[in-house]
Homo-oligomer: A and B are copies of this chain.
């Protein structure tokens, strides 16, 4: 029998030889990731990145889980409307709440941005942060995706889970930098992705510190936007919340453009990638050429020009979800 410390050595070496991205097909995307991680963490490498500077940022919706037919958080907000109206019956006959209560999905799809903002404000504020956390947790435990008939938290992309694990195993801190609500994503990010709340940068509303009726201190969510974490807001949010420039950034849409540009503008080795939704059989196809969605032709052109790696879900991923064969 080997002494314990030799077992440790042996298992470390075994790990290094194992395929850490088993859900990926061999190809340029997989190669780029594996080689980047190796080059930035191997001692003596010309591209070595100091451990404290190893920051990898990931968009969430459409990059690490499904964002169709609608952002999960928006579905949450719409499904919270009945509870909000129950507490404030005066909203019953007021738009856009009236339409939400009618269940007319076609009409809801045509909501204007100000109408959506009214729904978001009404459903994401007015409660303490603890109450909000438990409401979201409760919803996530039962709400299911209309097409896949699975919990939303089951719909993460297994290949991206592997990438996040590979980065972490190599001393990187993995962050979400999402246009979604920071408080919403934080509820499940640790359990579902291994990303702790303090490593979630997202669109953030203000809170108000005060005391409840019994005198107990609390934080109440208020409808005031502090950070719109999309497009230019992403590098701005990264600076606000992290304070370092990432060395790796992965997104999937035009809203991730500035985050990738900011990442690339740093000195030394950098990895910029975009997930391209081109697989309508296993997931959805709404990328370049589809004329819908947020992976525009202009983004594809910039990816080419800037040497950003484009990940084809169809070609690069052996499977999409953990529950796929």
Contact = CB atoms under 8 A, between A and B. Distances in A.
A275 interface: no
A243 interface: yes
Contact of A262 (B55, B209, B241): B209
Nearest to A265: B217
A107 interface: no
Contacts of A198: 55, 173, 241-244
Interface residues of A, number: 42
Contacts of A235: 209, 217, 219
Contacts of A262: 209, 217, 219
A218 B245 CA distance: 11
Complex copy number for this chain? 2
A217 B183 contact: no
A265 B215 CA distance: 10
| From A3, A240, A241, A264, residue with most partner B Cβ within 10 Å | A240
Nearest to A202: B243
A190 B52 contact: yes
A183 to B, nearest CB: 7
Contacts of A240: 182, 204, 206-207, 226
15 contacts: A4-B5, A52-B196, A129-B239, A183-B243, A197-B244, A198-B241, A206-B236, A207-B236, A208-B236, A209-B235, A209-B236, A210-B232, A217-B235, A217-B264, A218-B265
